[in-house]
Structure 1
Amino acid sequence: MTAIDEIRLPTALTPERLWADLPALVHGWLAQRRLAARDAVLLLPYADLLPPARQAFARQGGWQPRIETPRTLAEALAPPPHRDEGGPSGDAALDRLLVAAMLQQLPGIADWRRRDPKAHARAVDEVAAAALALARAAAQRAPTERDGWWARARAALAMQVDDAAPLNGALARLALEWAAQSAAPASDVLFTLRPAAWIVLQAGGADPLVQALVDEATSRATALLRLQADPSSEAPFDDIHAAGLQAWHAADAEDEAVAAAAAVIDAVHLRAGPVALVAEDRALVRRIRALLERAGLPLADESGWMLSTTRPAAQVMALLGAVHPRASADDWLDAIKAESGPGEGGLVDALEAHWRRGPATTPATPPTPRLQRALDAWAARQQRWQGLSGARRQPLAAWLQALRDTLGSAPGGPARWAGDAAARAVWQALRLDRLSVRADVDRTPLTLDEFSAWVDAALCDASYIPAIAREGAPVVVTPLARALLRPFAAVIVPGADESRLGTAAPGPALLNDALLRSLGIDDHAARAERQTMRFVQLLRHPKLLLVRRRADDDEALGPSRWWRRLQLAQQRQGAPRLDEQAAPLESRSLQPAPVAAPAALAASALPSAVSASAVEALRTCPYRFFARSVLRLSELEELADDPGKRDYGSLLHAALQRFHDERAAGAAPPDAAARLVELAEEAARELGVDGPALLPFRAGLDAFAARYLRWLAVREAAGWSYEGGEVEVIAAPADLPALKLRGRIDRIDRHASGAQQLLDYKTGSQRSLKDKLADPFEDTQLAFYAAQMLSQGADPERLRASYLALDERDAIGELEHRDVAASAHALLTGLADEWARLGAGAPMKALGEGMACEFCEARGLCRRDHWWSDGEEGAP
C-alpha cells in the first residue's frame, strides 16, 4: 500500500493562475519522488480542460506527463469493446423499448400497457433510469471488484422491501438483473495500465472511476498525487474570495434576458478572451442568444439543443402523423409543407384551398388545371407514403427501412438529407444510415403508434450541436459543468434564482437514498454537494455575473441558495457584504400614443345583399359588419376531421331535408326511424365525418330518430305538413330599395288552415334559445326570415316562426318567436334607417362591449386589446 500525496490549490487562484502554477507543482512533486514526467499520467475531470493544461505544460518546457481524461485515455489505449446484447445501452429511447418488451413477457402484467398506459409508461421510464444508474455505477468499479459489488447490490435491494408498493421492488430487481447483463465497459482497460505515477486533478467533486483507479494503484505501491481544487465539503464557501462576483436582479424573464445579453456584449468589448454564457436554463439562453445574434456577435454553442426542435426532425414527425389511419387534412398539409421542394408552394396552396371547401375527396365539379396538378401530386405522394401507411405491425428494422425509403423518395432525394448537418444528425439518431438499432431490438414488432413514439423519444433525447465550432468565437455557450477552470475572461450565469440554480437533479425513483449510499452511488445529498463544488469552481473566475428574475408570472422568486450560503460565509469572515443590484437596464421615456376605437367609412362599398348573420353582426358591432360584409374577411376553417357540434348539425340538416323530401314525394319507408338514421349516415359520409369520426355521434342517432318521429307524429296530427326544406330566398323589401335580403330557411311547414311556419333547426342549448327569445326584438334570425317572407307577400296574420331544438334528450323542443311579423317589421324599419345612415357616410364604429368581443374574429383587426380605457392612467 502507498499513501496518496495531496496538494491543495487555493480557491483564490483564477483559472489562468491555476494553469500557470500547475506544471511547476507537478514537476516539483515528480522530482521529489525521482520520477520521470514522461512516465506519469495526469487525469483531468473534463475534456475541455485538456487544451489549457497541455498548453501550460508546453510553456513550462521539457518532458511532460501524459495529460488525459479517463475517457480519452481509454479510447487511446484500446478500441471500444464489442457491446453485447442484453444490458442497458445508455440510449434512453432504445432502453425504453427494451424495458417495454421485458415487461410484456412477465406473467401478471403482460397487459399492463392496455389497462393503465400512463402507469406503464412511468414504470418503463423508472426501470430504464434505475438500470442505467446501476450499470454506470458498476462500470466505475475495478473489474476485480465488480462481481462482489453486484452481489452487495442484490443483497441491499433484497433489504429494500416496501410493503405498500411491492411492484416497485419487483421493478427495481428487474432493473438490477438487466443492468447486471451489461458488457464490460471500455474503461476497464485503464486498470491494466502501469504508469510510474497517477496524478489526479479533482474539481467539481470526486470521480468514482478515478477513485477506483487510485484505490487499485495504492495496492501496487504506485506513486499518487491528488491536486485538490475543491474546498472542504463541510464549509465549501468559507475560503472563497469573491472579489470579481456581481449579482443582478431583473423584473421578469424578458428583462433578465436583456440584462444578460447586455452584460455579455459589454464583457466582449471590454475584456480580452472569450466570454462564457452558462446555459442552465435553455429557454432563457435561446432568448439571450437571439439578442446576441441580433447584435452581430458570433457564438460557439457547446450545449446544443434538442434534435427534435430542428426542421428535419419536424419533417419526420409530420410524415409519421400524416400516414396515421386517423390523420386529418391538417396532418397531411403539415407533412406536405415540411417536405415540399422549390416550386411546390402553389400546389400546396391549391390543395389547402380545395380541402377547406369540403372533404378531402374528389371534387364534385371538374377541377381547374392547377387543382388537377395538385391532386395528381397528392395522389403520387400518397403512393410514396404507402410503405409507412400500409403496415399495421412489423419489426422495428422494417419500419426503419420503410421510413428511409419514404424520406429518400421525397423531393430532393437522399442528397437533401446528406447536405444538411441537422438532417444527418436525424438520420444517425434514427439509425437510418445502417437500418439497425441493435440486433435484439430490430426484431421487436411495433405498431405505427409505437414506432412513432420511439422516433419522437429518440429525437427528443438526442442533442444537436452545430458542426461549425466557430473557432475563436468571442462568446461560448456552455453548461455549468464545462465552464469549470477554463480561462474565460468573464462568465455570465443567467437563471440564477432559487428554482433554477442550485437544485439537485432527481435520482432514480426505484432506488432510495439509503440504497444508493450503500452502493457508493450519489444520493440526493451527494448530488447536491457535487453541484455545489461546481459552482464554487465558477467563483475562481475574475469576473462572474449572476443574473436572475424576481418573479415567474405571479410567483415571486428569490436568489439561488448558493448565493445565500456565500453571503452567510462572507458575513462570518467579516468580508465586505455581497449585495444584489438592480440590473442596469437602459430606460427611455415615451409619449403616450393612445389607440382609439376604429370607425370605418365605406358608404360606396356597402354590399347589395345581406344575410341574417350579416344583420346580426351589424346590430352587435358595426365594425364586425364592416370586416365581414364590406371587407369580406372570414376566418379560415379548421381542417381537422374531428367532428363537432357544427358537423353534427350539418348532417342532421341534410338528413331531415332528404327524409321529408322523400316523404313528400310519396316514398314513405316502412321503418321511418331506420331510414332517418341511414340518411344521417349517408350525409356524414358526404361531409367526410364517417367511420371513426362519426362514433361520438353515432350512438345517439337512434335515440334522435325515435325522438324526432314522436314529435313529428304529434305535429302532423295537429294539421301541419312539410312544404319545403333548405329554401333559398332572395327578397327585395320596398323599404330597402338598394338592399336585398338573402337567406336559406331550414324548413317551411303549412297548416291545414293556411298558416305558414318557418322552422330553424338548432343543436345547441335550449336555454340559450329561450334567452334569445325572451325579448323578441333582440332575436334577429327568425325576424329576418319572416321579413323575407313578408316581402314576398306572406300573410302577416298567418306567419309563424320557431326554433327547433333537436339535441334535447327528452323531446324535441319547439320555441316560438311570438308575433314574429311585428319583429320583422321593426327589423326592416331599423335596418332601413341604419342603411340610410351608412350610405350617407356614417361611421361603422367598433363598440368593444359585452360578450360579443370575447370570441370575435375581428378583434385583431379593430385592436380592441390596445384601446385606452377611461379609467386607465394616462388615458386621453
Structure 2
Amino acid sequence: MKRVVHLSQLSHSSLIEPGKPGAEVFTPHRRAARVIGSPYQPLDREAVRLLRRNGWEMATGVVARRNLIAAVKQVLKLDEPSPVAARMTPSMQALLRTGIDPNNLLNYQSERVRQLAEITLVYQAMLHQQRLLDPSEALWHASRLKLNRKPIVVYGYFRPRIDELAFIDALAGEGSRFLVPCADHSIFRENRKALEFLRSRNWEVEEPGTSLTTYGQRIANSFLTGNASEDRSPAHSYPNLEAEVRGVLAQIKELLISGVNPDEIVMVARDDKIYGPTLLSIGWEYEVPVRVLYNFPLDQTRFGVWVRLMLEAASTGFSFEPTIQMLSHRMGQGLGLSAQSLKASRSVHTEGLDGWKSLEIDLSQLDWPESATRTEWVRLLRNILDKTDSRKHAEPWARELKAFEIFHENVDGLLFDEAEEIVTIETFAADVTELLSSLTVPFQPGVGGVELHTPEVLFGSQYRHVFVMGMNEGVMPAPVNEDPILDFYDRKLLVEKGIGLESAADVARREVLSFYLMIGIATERISFSYPRIVNNDESIPSAFMQRMGLVIRPAVELELPLASREEARRAFIGGDAILSGDDVLPAAIRSLEVEAGRESPAAFDEYDGVVGLPLDAGEIQWSASQLTTLGQCPFKWFASKVLLLKEPDEMETELFPSLRGRLYHKALELAFAGLIDVEDPREAALMRLDEAFIQAEREIGIPGLPAWPAQRAEHLQTLRNAIGSADFIEAGSRVIHTEMTFQSVWHGLKVRGSVDRVDRTSAGIDLIDYKTSASVPPGAKNEDGDAKLDLQMPIYIHAAGSSRFPGEAITGIYYSLKKAEVLERVEVADSPELQAFAERVKRHLKDGDYPVDPDNERKACTFCEFDLVCRQGNRLDRKRSA
C-alpha cells in the first residue's frame, strides 16, 4: 500500500495531485479547498460521520458542560463546581486530544494532574454511558474503529496534531497523499515529529525540490532565513487602531475600484475580535464589504440578553430593574411599555404582577410557577418566545436571527435526559443562562466581502493581496500564557513521559510557524501595519517586522484618498470648498462654528445662555432658594425656571436630600403643633415625635424604599437628637410660630417663603431655619465669584422678621438637624453687596442674560442636573480669563 507524504518548505498546492479516481480531499477550511478545486470537507466532519454509523453522537456544548460539572462535583465534592469545571475545560480537552488513557496519570506526582485525570475518567464514563463523545476525543475514537481505507488527499493541515495524524493514518488507503510543510529549521520541529510518526506507519516521503515561485513565498523565506528579499513589503505605523483600520480599508477600496475581486483580498489580525467591530463600522462608512467570521457568545447578543432578562424578571417576581430592562429592550416592544408607563414606573419603581398591571402592562404570560418539570419549563420558554414575536424582532439583524435559530435548535438540551425532573424557576433560569453562555453565533453571518482572519485559519489558501494588521509586540506573536491546571512545568514532565502536550517552547514555535505559513499565501502583495497607541499605551512594532528587514514608515506617506463622504466632510469643513450634493456639510460647518465659539475665549453668546429673552424681575415671585440659584449660576436658574428642564423622576433607593428635608420639616411641624407658647416644649415634642413622623410619612408620600424600616429608625433618631440638644431652643424661650409664611418686597423683588420656626427669647425674636446638612449651604456669588453671599437669612430677617415683628431685635439661626447644633447666627439684614446683587438679578432678566457662569469652586455644579446642557468645564476658564 503506497501512501505518500509530500514535504515542502511552503504550501505548494501544485504538489498535490488529484490521485486515484474517487480520492476524497480533506481540507480544514473552504479557502484551502478553493485553492485545489475540491469540495470542502474537514477531517472532523468525516470522523463524526463514521462515529455516527457506529452508534456514537457528539455531546453538545451544554450537555458536555453539564456532565463535566457533575464529574467535578462527584470527584471534588464541591457545592459550586461550575467555576472549577470552566477553568478545567481547556486542560481536559488538551488531554483528550493526546489520546492518553487518563488512568496512567492517577499516580502522577502533581495533585492537579491527578484530579484532572480522575475528573476526565468520570466525565468520559458519563458521556460514554449515553453513547456520547466529547468532540476533543472524536478523532481518536474514529481512528480506533475498523475503517475501510480509501484513497484520500489531505491539504491544509500544515501543523497536524497527533489525533489528526492518527485519524489520517487510519483512514488513508492506497494512493493517499498528504502535504506537510517541513524544512531544516526549529519552527518545523513538531512537523518533523509528525513525519516520524507517519514514517513509522509506512508512509513514503517525497522531498521534491521546490522553487520560491510566488511573491509571498519569497517574503516568507526571508522571514525564515533572515536574508533580505528582493521583493519588498510595505510596512506602516498609524496613530491608533481606528486610523490603521481606515488606512487599510482605504487601500482595499482602491483595489476594489480597480477591479480586484473581494475574494482576492484578505485582512489578517492575530486578535480578530479587537479589530472586527471597528472594521465593520468603518467598512460600512467606506462602502467596503467587510466580513468577520469569528464566533460571538450567544449571551452577548440582543436575543441572548432578552432571554436572560425575561427569566430574571419572572424569577424575581417582576422586580423593577430586570422588568423595566426587559420591557425597554428592542425585543420587548410587544409587551406594551409606553412613554407614560415608563415615566410612571420609574417614579415609584413598580414591583409585582399587579403593579405592572396597574400600568396596563400585562405580564401574565410570564407568571410562571415556582417549580415545574423540565418539559414544562421548555414549553413555557418556547411559548413566550412565540407570543412575543421574538423571531420577528430578531429579523432586522442577521446575527440576532441566527442566534434565535441556534437557541431554538438547542433549547431541548435543557431537558438533560431528565425531562420529568422537577426543578425551581431559579434552577431553570441558571440552566438557560449556562446554555446561552455555551452557544456561539457567527459575529457576522453571511457570505461575500473582504474577509478578516487569524493566521492559523489561512493555511493552504492563496490571496493576491494580504493586509496584516496589529503587528505590535505582545500581539503578533501572541504571548505565551500558562494553563491554570496543566502548567508548563507539568507539561514538560508529561512530555518526557511521551504524552503529546505542548510545552512553552512548542507554543512559541507554533506562533512563528503560523505567521510564516500565513505570509506565504500572498501571490502579489502583502503589507504590514500596527497602531502606535493601544489602550492609551504606547506600543512598539513586532520583532517579526525587524526579522523581515521591513522599513516602517508613517502612514501619512501613503497619501490615501478620501474614502467616504464623512471623511470628505471633515476635509472640507475647515475651508471654503463645497461638497456638491451634500446637505449635511452646511449644517456641520455651522455646528463647528458654534462649538468653536463655546470653546473659545469669546464672550458668552446665545449658545451659552445669553439668549436676549427679557423678563421682568419685579413680576416674579422669588424664593430665597431661587435667588441663590440664579446668584450661583444664571444658566442653572434659566434652565430650571424658564426652559423648565428636569430629569425624569426616578425613585431613589434611599431618601434624596430634598425629600429628606421635607420629611424632617413636616415631622417637626407636626410634633410642635399645639405647643405654641409652651416653655421648653422639647419633652412634649419628643413624646409626640413617633406619631408625628408617621403622619409626615403619609402626607409627604414616602415611596416604598428597599431598606426603609432600617433607614426610618436612623431618621427618627436624628430628629430625637436634634430636639434633645441644648442648642435646639434657648433656655427660657418659647415657640411662637412653626412654618410661618411671608410675602414682602426685598430691594424691588417680590419674595415669599416660610420660616421653619420662630422663637421669642429674652433678647427678641429668633428665626430658625432647619438644615439637614452638617454645614450652611453655599450662597450666591459674592464680588469675588465665590459662593459665600448668604441671601436666605437676610431675606427672612427683612421680609419676615421686620414686617411681622417691627421694632424688635431679629436674629436668624441656621440649625443643623444632623449635627444637633447651631451652625451660624445672622443679625445683619442688609448690606450694599446685597443691594448690588438684587440689581444684578434685575439686569440679568432685563437683558435676557443667563450665561453658564458658576461660582469659582463650581459648588453650583455639585448637585446640578443640567450638566449635559451647559457642558461646563475648562472652557469657562478661557472665557473668564479673556
TM-score normalized with structure 1 length: 0.75
Match of 2:96 among 117, 122, 138: 138
Q: Is the 8 A contact 1:169 1:510 kept in 2?
A: no
CA distance in 2, matches of 1:304, 1:3: 40
Q: Does the residue aligned with 2:758 lie in a helix, a strand or coil?
A: strand
Residue 36 of structure 2 aligns with an amino acid whose one-letter code is A
Match of 2:538 among 536, 539, 556: 556
Output one character per residue of 1:568-623: Cα deviation in whole Å (capped at 9) or x when no partner. 3x46xxxxx54354353659594795324534144434672333343223222223
User: 1:741 — aligned with what?
Assistant: 751
CA distance in 2, matches of 1:671, 1:172: 72
Q: Is the 8 A contact 1:131 1:178 kept in 2?
A: no
User: How far has the Cα of 1:297 moved from its partner?
Assistant: 2.5
Query: Which range moved further: 651-660 or 253-262?
Result: 651-660
Q: Does 1:316 align with 2:307?
A: yes
Output one character per residue of 1:645-694: Cα deviation in whole Å (capped at 9) or x when no partner. 5665555445444444487799969955655775687689x42243x333
Query: Which range moved further: 271-280 or 656-665?
Result: 656-665
Q: Does the residue aligned with 2:338 lie in a helix, a strand or coil?
A: helix
Output one character per residue of 1:20-54: Cα deviation in whole Å (capped at 9) or x when no partner. x14xx435xx5xxxxx343x444323354233333
User: 1:51 — aligned with what?
Assistant: 34
CA distance in 2, matches of 1:609, 1:97: 70
Say if 1:328 and 1:634 are closer, same or farther in 2 by CA, change over 3 A.
farther
Q: Is the 8 A contact 2:374 2:422 kept in 1?
A: yes
User: How far has the Cα of 1:550 moved from its partner?
Assistant: 0.8
User: 2:364 — aligned with what?
Assistant: 383
User: 1:120 — aligned with what?
Assistant: none
Say if 1:870 and 1:336 are closer, same or farther in 2 by CA, change over 3 A.
closer
User: 1:160 — aligned with what?
Assistant: 110
Q: Does the residue aligned with 2:721 lie in a helix, a strand or coil?
A: helix
Q: Is the 8 A contact 1:669 1:675 kept in 2?
A: no
Q: Does 1:528 align with 2:508?
A: yes
User: 2:285 — aligned with what?
Assistant: 294
Say if 1:605 and 1:432 are closer, same or farther in 2 by CA, change over 3 A.
farther
Q: Which ranges in structure 2 are unaligned for 5 or more consecutive residues?
A: 189-222, 563-570, 576-591
Alignment of 1:176-195 (within 5 A): 177-179=122-124, 181-183=126-128, 184=133, 186-187=138-139, 188-190=141-143, 191-195=145-149
CA distance in 1, matches of 2:780, 2:842: 31
CA distance in 1, matches of 2:398, 2:54: 28
Alignment of 1:133-532 (within 5 A): 133-135=91-93, 137-138=95-96, 141=99, 149-155=101-107, 158-161=108-111, 173-174=118-119, 177-179=122-124, 181-183=126-128, 184=133, 186-187=138-139, 188-190=141-143, 191-197=145-151, 199-201=153-155, 203-214=157-168, 225-229=177-181, 234-235=186-187, 237-239=223-225, 243=231, 245-270=233-258, 272-273=260-261, 274=263, 275-278=265-268, 280-323=271-314, 325=316, 329=320, 331-338=322-329, 348-355=338-345, 360=350, 378-387=359-368, 391=370, 399-410=377-388, 412=389, 422-427=399-404, 430=407, 434-439=411-416, 455-456=432-433, 458-465=435-442, 469-470=446-447, 473-504=448-479, 506=481, 508-517=483-492, 518=494, 519-532=499-512
CA distance in 1, matches of 2:510, 2:754: 74
Q: Does 1:619 align with 2:631?
A: yes
Output one character per residue of 1:787-808: Cα deviation in whole Å (capped at 9) or x when no partner. 5425854558544333333334
User: How far has the Cα of 1:181 moved from its partner?
Assistant: 4.0
CA distance in 1, matches of 2:348, 2:260: 64
Say if 1:643 and 1:714 are closer, same or farther in 2 by CA, change over 3 A.
closer
User: 1:118 — aligned with what?
Assistant: none
User: How far has the Cα of 1:863 moved from its partner?
Assistant: 4.4
User: 1:751 — aligned with what?
Assistant: 760
Say if 1:284 and 1:176 are closer, same or farther in 2 by CA, change over 3 A.
same
User: How far has the Cα of 1:717 moved from its partner?
Assistant: 5.2
Output one character per residue of 1:387-443: Cα deviation in whole Å (capped at 9) or x when no partner. 2xx63x667665544444444333x47765689755554445555875442526778
Q: Does the residue aligned with 1:821 lie in a helix, a strand or coil?
A: coil
Alignment of 1:714-733 (within 5 A): 715=729, 718-721=732-735, 723-725=737-739, 729=741, 731-733=743-745
CA distance in 2, matches of 1:95, 1:657: 67
Coordinate RMSD, CA, aligned? 4.8
Q: Does the residue aligned with 2:237 lie in a helix, a strand or coil?
A: strand
| Overall identity of the aligned pairs, in % | 16
Match of 2:41 among 50, 62, 68: 68
Say if 1:186 and 1:801 are closer, same or farther in 2 by CA, change over 3 A.
same
CA distance in 2, matches of 1:125, 1:242: 53
CA distance in 2, matches of 1:137, 1:526: 16
Match of 1:804 among 815, 819, 833: 815
Q: Is the 8 A contact 1:312 1:426 kept in 2?
A: yes
Q: Is the 8 A contact 1:300 1:476 kept in 2?
A: yes
Residue 511 of structure 2 aligns with an amino acid whose one-letter code is Q
Alignment of 1:536-575 (within 5 A): 536-540=516-520, 541=522, 542-563=524-545, 567-568=546-547, 570=548
CA distance in 2, matches of 1:776, 1:421: 56
Q: Is the 8 A contact 1:394 1:447 kept in 2?
A: yes
Alignment of 1:799-838 (within 5 A): 799-808=810-819, 812-819=820-827, 821-822=829-830, 827=834, 829-838=835-844
User: How far has the Cα of 1:108 moved from its partner?
Assistant: 7.3
CA distance in 2, matches of 1:357, 1:743: 27
Q: Does the residue aligned with 2:475 lie in a helix, a strand or coil?
A: coil
Q: Does the residue aligned with 2:329 lie in a helix, a strand or coil?
A: helix
Residue 494 of structure 1 aligns with an amino acid whose one-letter code is M
Q: Does 1:704 align with 2:718?
A: yes
User: 1:634 — aligned with what?
Assistant: 646
User: How far has the Cα of 1:538 moved from its partner?
Assistant: 1.7
Say if 1:813 and 1:264 are closer, same or farther in 2 by CA, change over 3 A.
farther
Q: Does the residue aligned with 1:543 lie in a helix, a strand or coil?
A: strand
Say if 1:512 and 1:601 are closer, same or farther in 2 by CA, change over 3 A.
closer
Residue 733 of structure 1 aligns with an amino acid whose one-letter code is V
Say if 1:269 and 1:636 are closer, same or farther in 2 by CA, change over 3 A.
same
Say if 1:5 and 1:355 are closer, same or farther in 2 by CA, change over 3 A.
closer
Q: Is the 8 A contact 2:629 2:636 kept in 1?
A: yes
User: How far has the Cα of 1:227 moved from its partner?
Assistant: 1.0
User: How far has the Cα of 1:70 moved from its partner?
Assistant: 0.9
Match of 2:555 among 582, 590, 598: 582
Residue 724 of structure 1 aligns with an amino acid whose one-letter code is T
Say if 1:101 and 1:757 are closer, same or farther in 2 by CA, change over 3 A.
farther
Residue 238 of structure 1 aligns with an amino acid whose one-letter code is L
User: How far has the Cα of 1:476 moved from its partner?
Assistant: 1.9
Output one character per residue of 1:182-241: Cα deviation in whole Å (capped at 9) or x when no partner. 4345543354333255544355522232222356579xx977644123656615742586
CA distance in 2, matches of 1:734, 1:853: 23
CA distance in 1, matches of 2:73, 2:688: 50
TM-score normalized with structure 2 length: 0.74
Q: Is the 8 A contact 2:398 2:444 kept in 1?
A: yes
User: How far has the Cα of 1:384 moved from its partner?
Assistant: 3.3
Say if 1:748 and 1:653 are closer, same or farther in 2 by CA, change over 3 A.
closer
User: How far has the Cα of 1:456 moved from its partner?
Assistant: 4.7
Q: Which ranges in structure 1 are unaligned for 5 or more consecutive residues?
A: 31-35, 56-65, 114-122, 163-167, 363-371, 572-576
CA distance in 2, matches of 1:451, 1:712: 60
User: 1:368 — aligned with what?
Assistant: none
User: How far has the Cα of 1:68 moved from its partner?
Assistant: 3.4
CA distance in 2, matches of 1:714, 1:200: 92
Say if 1:90 and 1:581 are closer, same or farther in 2 by CA, change over 3 A.
farther
